[in-house]
């Protein structure tokens, strides 16, 4: 291909959108995952209120990732989605249900049913997202474009592990967000969660990293080559450093630093994942050049992106600024 | 399942999820416009009635909008999960248009929706009003792009085909393809009409119970004025859109009108008022016709000729009964709406608008009229495009993902289950919300003054102040 640069740019931009989704909806999902650990209706209300002004915008990054894939890499969009059909449909159903319980809760007379439904749906969404990532790393075991024929091709034990890891990661992100947005007894509750959640997260991440070379030969080969091993070691050390720093910040009550450190861990993890796969977009063998749409499509998309994404980030930041500070009462 | 093949099942799944989704969208477009107008009127006149109506509809809008977002996420995935043949070939066009919708509309709506709903005391009234307007604007931008995408599938333009994939050549032609402007106008007006009927219906119901409710009176009057202007406009827009369809998708029009044969020259085409179109015999049964009327509205001449379905091979025709009935339903509803509007004008003139109980009942019955017309219109245009997914270029059969029947039945049952559940809960809360009388949402005079004296306005537009009042 002579237009090699565009697909690489687009690969990066979709990674960017997906990373923002994972972080932004990650903390909203984390809130739902932490629901069972907070018993009081009023306090749960505060937890939800901390996310409600950003709720829809956060999920829009998922739509952008999906739509971007559709426009810039139609082959990946049209192979990955059918291959993950049943888990995706289940995830979408749960996303729908989660959104509606969130919305209706404020109108309800009794919160209990909504809270249980909200929490279960959230847990399912988080777990399935992690599982899909695992299945993608493991590779979709069939030849080109016929992914859809095997209804259970998506299942893997590795996927269960990545699913669990993401649930824990989102919970950690949620706790870190809520430390920033709450105060008093509720905030202390989340402070106390940081250490156990971080321990679990580190263990689950290590498991995933050790397991990965066994499910993806290409990654195994790549990681074992000389300079790469060094990089891998560096990322691992950085991750552990961030983990330790997070726990310390929690002990010293550095509210915002905890959140930033957890975000840094997510970003680093996602970069590591993308770098390990590059230039394969869909293992085992769909490269980003093979999957790319035409130059005219990617070029036109880039124009829109270059203009709109800075503006979008601008008013998104404005919205976070407007709603900065502690949530004092639930706006239910 | 029931003798349906995988293409039927995939279509059934897509059509039910999108028909569900469009209800929220239509009402979101309409309500966001209405709210922006109400806020403008309140800021301009200081009349608390506008504020009361605003408060009354704000939670409805919130729920609709949120439902639109999450059911929209499902749609964004479904193009890929269920239509991989289509999306892998046309992603370079439809995927790009969808991405433009996300970056120019979805984020805009979502970002300012937060400020609109929860900005109490945190932003000035001007910024709040700005946010409300942006949310409404976002709804139209979104409509623009998604209809560019749909219209391109109806009347493709500005593309080339390379290795079976559709490559954009001229984006201007892709976006403003021949049916896009018509569809955009028709759908935007339809959303306003659907919302106005819902508002009018709820207002009528409250007036039926207590016709002194000043807020409900204002609500009914505003909604009916809206309909008075927009319904006739929509009939014209629909006619023009029909002419556009006749030019670009004549087989669809033939199915809409149930014309099988090419009639002899100069006879003029009748309008089929009622019939049972029989695709096997290729003729209509139990027919009731008005001579020459179709020629008049389709060609604007009494002797105009319209192509019959026999002109296309059997495997290039849509399923006529569905298209025919869906189109009849939409058009008859349109004229019934016009009748209601005429009655309202007559009652207004006699100053009996708020206390003619029969008219209030009629308006209540018309509550879902606009939504039903939208659904019927979409069935007409989508079923009328068949057997093509991209008109004349790619067949629906080639666009579908290769799933087994059992996989599709599983997803279909799951989705129908969750949609039914959410519909039930949604309906419960809808009735709970509309049981509040409009007068209740009128902000108390003193509270309002308090706020002004303290110069720390509890923002009158937020959800919370509604609950406190």
B172 touches chain A (CB under 8 A): no
Q: Residue B263 corresponds to which tokens in the numbers above?
A: 């009639």
Of the partner residues B62, B77, B93, the one whose CB lies closest to the CB of residue A66: B77
What is the per-residue pLDDT for A170? 95
Q: How many Cβ atoms from other residues are within 10 Å of residue B280's Cβ? A: 5
Please report whether residue A330 resides in a domain.
no
What is the per-residue pLDDT for A171? 94
Taking CA–CA distances from A98, the nearest residue in chain B reads: B70
Reduced to 3 states (helix: H, G, I; strand: E, B; else coil), residue A254 is coil
User: Residue B5 phi/psi, 5° resolution?
Assistant: -90, 180
- Write out the residue range of the structural domain in which residue A208 sits: 10-322
Q: What is the tally of helices (H) and strands (E) in chain A?
A: 13, 2
Please report whether residue A115 resides in a domain.
yes
Reduced to 3 states (helix: H, G, I; strand: E, B; else coil), residue A242 is helix
CA distance A23 to A33: 15
CA distance B215 to B442: 7
CB B385 within 8 A of CB B249: yes
Q: Residue A293 corresponds to which tokens in the numbers above?
A: 């749409």
B113 touches chain A (CB under 8 A): yes
Residues of A with CB below 8 A from B402's CB?
82, 146, 148-149
DSSP string, A86-143: HHHHHHHHHHHHHHHHHHHHTT-S--HHHHHHHHHHHHHHHHHHHHHHHHHHH---SS
Q: Residue B29 corresponds to which tokens in the numbers above?
A: 């477009």
* Contact across the interface for B102 and A64, Cβ inside 8 Å: yes
Please report whether residue A309 resides in a domain.
yes
pLDDT tens-digit profile of A133-189? 888 888 775 554 555 556 677 778 888 999 999 999 999 999 999 999 988 888 898
Q: Residue B30 corresponds to which tokens in the numbers above?
A: 């309409």
DSSP string, B178-203: TTHHHHHHHHHHHHHHHHHHHHHHHH
CB A165 within 8 A of CB A26: no
Helix (H) or strand (E) holding B285: strand B283-290
Please report whether residue A277 resides in a domain.
yes
* Contact across the interface for A80 and B80, Cβ inside 8 Å: yes
pLDDT of A212 above 70 = yes
CB A70 within 8 A of CB B79: yes
CA distance B243 to B186: 13
Q: Which residue has the tokens 């002419």?
A: B243
Strand pairing partners for B119? Answer: none
Please report whether residue A84 resides in a domain.
yes
What is the per-residue pLDDT for B103? 92
Q: Which of residues 372-411 of B touch A (CB under 8 A)?
A: 401-404, 406-407, 410-411
Helix (H) or strand (E) holding B82: helix B48-82
CA distance B153 to B393: 9
Reduced to 3 states (helix: H, G, I; strand: E, B; else coil), residue B165 is strand
Most distant CA atoms of chain A, gap in Å: 62
What is the per-residue pLDDT for B468? 38
Chunk chain B into consecutive blocks of 10 residues (it has 469) and report each block's average pLDDT, rounded to whole numbers: 80 92 93 94 88 89 88 89 90 92 91 86 88 94 94 92 89 92 95 96 91 88 94 92 88 86 70 82 80 78 77 87 92 94 91 88 94 95 91 89 84 89 85 83 58 41 40
CA distance B443 to B463: 12
CATH number at A253 reads: 1.20.1630
Number of compact structural domains in chain A: 1
CB A2 within 8 A of CB A242: no
**Cβ neighbours of residue B442 closer than 8 Å, sequence gap 6 or more:** B48, B49, B51, B52, B214, B215
B85 touches chain A (CB under 8 A): yes
Q: How many Cβ atoms from other residues are within 10 Å of residue B89's Cβ? A: 25
What is the per-residue pLDDT for B266? 56
User: How sure is the predictor about A280, in pLDDT bands with cuts at 50, 70 and 90?
Assistant: confident
pLDDT tens-digit profile of A218-260? 888 888 887 888 888 888 899 999 999 998 988 888 888 999 9
Residues of B with CB below 8 A from A300's CB?
96, 168, 171
Closest CA to A118 of A45, A57, A197, A54: A45
CB B148 within 8 A of CB B94: no
Its ipTM equals 0.88
Integer Rg of chain B from CA: 24
Report domain extents, chain B: 11-247+313-468
Total CB pairs under 8 A between chain A and B: 252
CA distance B219 to B354: 11
Mean pLDDT of A29-58: 89
What is the per-residue pLDDT for A260? 93
Average pLDDT, chain A: 86
Residues of B with CB below 8 A from A72's CB?
95, 99
Where would I find the beta strands (DSSP E) of chain A?
280-282, 286-287
What is the per-residue pLDDT for B459? 44
pLDDT tens-digit profile of A61-111? 999 999 999 988 988 888 888 888 888 899 999 998 998 888 888 777 778
What is the per-residue pLDDT for B1? 53
Please report whether residue A166 resides in a domain.
yes
Please report whether residue A3 resides in a domain.
no
CB B367 within 8 A of CB B201: yes
Q: 3-state SS string over chain B?
A: CCCCCHHHHHHHHHHHHHHHHHHHHHHHHHHHHHHHHHHHHHHHHCCHHHHHHHHHHHHHHHHHHHHHHHHHHHHHHHHHHHCHHHHHHHHHHHHHHHHHHHHHHHHHHHHHHHHHHHCCCCCCHHHHHHHHHHHHHHHHHHHHHHHHHHHHHHCCCCEEEECCEEEECCHHHHHCCCCHHHHHHHHHHHHHHHHHHHHHHHHHHHHHHCCCCHHHHHHHHHHHHHHHHHHHHHHHHHHHHHHHHHHHCHHHHHHHHCCCCCCCCCCCCCEEEEEEEECCCCEEEEEEEECCHHHHHHHCCCCCCCCCHHHCCHHHCCCHHHHHHHHHHHHHHHHHHHHHHHHHHHHHHCCCCCCCHHHHHHHHHCCCHHHHHHHHHHHHHHHHHCCEEECCCEEHHHHCCCCCHHHHHHHHHHHHHHHHHHHHHHHHHHHHHHHCCHHHHCCCHHHHHHHHHHCCCCCCCCHHHHHHC
How would you classify the pairing of strands B165-168 and B159-162? Answer: antiparallel
CB B341 within 8 A of CB B231: yes
């Amino acid at each position: 291909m002579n237009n090699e640069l565009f697909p690489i740019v687009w690969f990066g931009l979709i990674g960017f959108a997906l990373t923002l989704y994972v972080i932004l909806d990650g903390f909203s999902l984390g809130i739902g995952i932490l629901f069972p650990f907070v018993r009081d209706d009023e306090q749960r209300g505060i937890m939800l209120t901390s996310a409600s002004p950003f709720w829809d915008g956060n999920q829009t990054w998922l739509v952008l990732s999906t739509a971007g894939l559709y426009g810039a890499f139609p082959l990946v969009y049209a192979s990955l989605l059918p291959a993950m059909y049943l888990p995706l449909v289940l995830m979408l159903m749960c996303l729908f249900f989660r959104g509606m319980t969130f919305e209706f809760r404020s109108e309800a007379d009794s919160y209990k049913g909504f809270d249980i439904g909200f929490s279960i749906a959230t847990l399912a969404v988080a777990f399935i997202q992690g599982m899909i990532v695992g299945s993608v790393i493991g590779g979709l075991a069939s030849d080109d474009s016929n992914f859809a024929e095997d209804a259970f091709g998506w299942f893997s034990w590795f996927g269960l592990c990545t699913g669990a890891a993401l649930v824990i990661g989102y919970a950690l992100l949620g706790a870190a967000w809520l430390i920033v947005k709450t105060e008093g007894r509720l905030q202390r509750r989340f402070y106390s969660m940081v250490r156990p959640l971080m321990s679990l997260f580190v263990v689950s991440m290590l498991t995933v990293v050790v397991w990965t070379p066994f499910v993806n030969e290409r990654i195994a080969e790549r990681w074992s080559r000389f300079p790469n091993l060094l990089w891998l070691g560096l990322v691992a050390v950085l991750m552990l450093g961030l983990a330790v720093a997070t726990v310390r910040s929690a002990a010293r009550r550095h509210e915002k630093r905890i959140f930033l450190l957890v975000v840094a861990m997510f970003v680093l993890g996602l970069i590591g994942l993308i770098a390990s796969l590059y230039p394969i977009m869909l293992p085992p063998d769909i490269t980003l050049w093979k999957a790319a749409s035409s130059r005219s499509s990617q070029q036109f998309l880039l124009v829109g992106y270059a203009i709109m994404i800075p503006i979008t980030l601008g008013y998104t930041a404005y919205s976070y600024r407007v709603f900065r500070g502690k949530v004092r009462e639930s706006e239910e | 399942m029931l003798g349906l093949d995988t293409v039927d099942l995939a279509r059934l799944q897509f059509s039910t999820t999108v028909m569900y989704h469009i209800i929220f969208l239509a009402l979101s477009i309409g309500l966001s416009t209405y709210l922006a107008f109400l806020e403008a009127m309140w800021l301009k006149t200081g009349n608390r009635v506008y504020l009361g109506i605003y408060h009354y509809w704000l939670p409805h809008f919130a729920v609709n909008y949120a439902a639109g977002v999450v059911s929209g996420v499902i749609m964004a995935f479904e193009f890929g999960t269920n239509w991989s043949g289509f999306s892998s070939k046309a992603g370079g066009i439809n995927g790009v248009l969808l991405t433009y919708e996300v970056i120019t509309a979805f984020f805009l709506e979502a970002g300012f929706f937060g400020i609109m709903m929860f900005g109490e005391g945190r932003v000035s009234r001007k910024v709040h009003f700005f946010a409300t307007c942006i949310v409404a604007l976002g709804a139209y931008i979104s409509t623009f792009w998604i209809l560019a995408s749909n219209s391109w599938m109806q009347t493709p333009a500005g593309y080339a085909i390379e290795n079976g994939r559709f490559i954009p050549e001229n984006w201007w032609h892709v976006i403003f393809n021949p049916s896009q402007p018509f569809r955009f106008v028709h759908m935007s007006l339809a959303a306003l009409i659907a919302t106005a009927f819902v508002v009018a219906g709820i207002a009528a119901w409250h007036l039926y119970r207590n016709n002194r409710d000043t807020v409900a009176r204002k609500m009914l009057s505003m909604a009916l004025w809206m309909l008075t202007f927009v319904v006739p406009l929509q009939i014209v827009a629909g006619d023009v859109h029909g002419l556009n369809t006749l030019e670009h998708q004549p087989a669809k029009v033939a199915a809409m009108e149930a014309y099988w044969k090419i009639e002899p020259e100069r006879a003029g085409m009748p309008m089929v008022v009622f019939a049972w179109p029989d695709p096997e015999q290729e003729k209509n049964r139990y027919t009731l016709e008005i001579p020459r009327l179709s020629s008049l509205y389709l060609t604007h001449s009494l002797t105009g000729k319209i192509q019959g379905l026999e002109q296309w091979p059997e495997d290039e025709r849509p399923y006529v009964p569905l298209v025919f009935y869906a189109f009849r339903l939409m058009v008859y509803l349109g004229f019934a709406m016009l009748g209601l509007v005429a009655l309202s004008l007559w009652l207004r003139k006699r100053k009996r608008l708020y206390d003619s109980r029969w008219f209030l009942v009629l308006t209540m019955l018309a509550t879902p009229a606009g939504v039903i017309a939208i659904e019927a219109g979409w069935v007409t245009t989508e079923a009328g495009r068949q057997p093509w997914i991209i008109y004349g270029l790619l067949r629906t059969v080639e666009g579908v993902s290769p799933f087994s029947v059992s996989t599709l039945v599983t997803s279909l049952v799951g989705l129908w289950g969750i949609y039914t559940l959410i519909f039930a809960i949604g309906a419960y809360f809808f009735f709970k919300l509309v049981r509040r009388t409009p007068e209740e949402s009128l902000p108390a005079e003193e509270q309002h003054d308090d706020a002004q004296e303290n110069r720390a306005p509890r923002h009158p537009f937020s959800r919370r102040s509604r609950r406190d009042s």
